[in-house]
Structure 1
Amino acid sequence: MSEKFPEKWFRPLYGHPCWGIEYGRQTNLSINFGKPSLEIREPFVTESQSQVVRELASRRLVTVRGEWWLWLWCCYWKLTLNEETLATGSSSARRTKKAMSRLSGQKIVSLSVNEKTGFSGFEFDLGCQLSCRRFERDSEERLWSLYRPNGYVLSVHGNGTYCHQRSTDSELQRNPIGDVGR
């Protein structure tokens, strides 16, 4: 019996508590799972004409990441608890921070993905539900990506496609969500 998308790649994440949740208007929503580790990017020389880019490149960047990192990107998202909306991507910073503190520590227990639109629902053990959907009807943008410990990234797109490939691969290999397990 074949597994349904995204169980095949997502199941090892079930039961892990989330932590290090960050939200920014430009970066959207970032959630860590599993053991933390440091990612260190050393300073480098860039040929960019931008002063800002050159300045950023000249710094060492240290980031704490989980074994698993979920990044919601080009999507509308909503966090609920017992059908009450705690926050959305357009909520105030204060409300969003309070909502993220309610989510922190909860264990992910299931994920559902609509095979036509990529609409996704993440369920957590203490009642939180995180949903995300595309901005526009005909969007091919990535809604979310799950960076896995083995170096692969699973991403879901607003046109009902997914990619599962190494994070170092430059060209996306999109596949219809409905084709998984057939």
Structure 2
Amino acid sequence: MAEWPDLVQLEFRGAQLLFSNPTIEKAPSTMVALQFRNPTSVSFLSDKNMPVEEVNLWPQKLQRDETDGFTCSYGFFTFIDDVLIQEIVRELSTVQTVFGEKPFSPDFNKSPVRMCFRAGGVGMLIGAESLRILSHEGEVLLSEVEEKNRQWWSYWKQYWQVKDTADAYPVDYACEVTIPLQE
């Protein structure tokens, strides 16, 4: 098995989590880092139609911060939904497991933490012993995530209520690109 660091960190912008109170001077940070401690598996997923050279190159570019980032596909990010994980891996059928267990092996399925996402034609699948969630304000407990998401939606509503008024918040990318799901 290849040598691997004790953690893998992925950073996401535009997270719908409110970590600090918004002000009219500065939009709140929407950056969140997921630290996977003691990884058991790391796989890069690519669309089967992606050119081979790009399949091999994008994970390296990601590691060196040489990409503009990727936009997560709506509804294709999960920690717990095994059916969705299988769907993502099936759709992004080129799987490069660079460390540890292959997806869906018995040992992979024993990983206490599993995360999978799709961002257009690429994605990742990670297994680890534990997960830390970090913001610019510090560690975020998993038990706080749901409330931070509720707070963000309250902020989103307020953002649009005061837009184009004297009390408007600074332009917030996460608010500008989010359209709530209509039931």
Normalising TM by the smaller chain, what interval? 0.3 to 0.5
TM-score, normalised via structure 2 length: 0.36
Specify the structure having the higher radius of gyration (Cα).
2
Richer in strand (by share):
1
Report which structure shows greater RCO (CA 8 Å, sep ≥6): 2
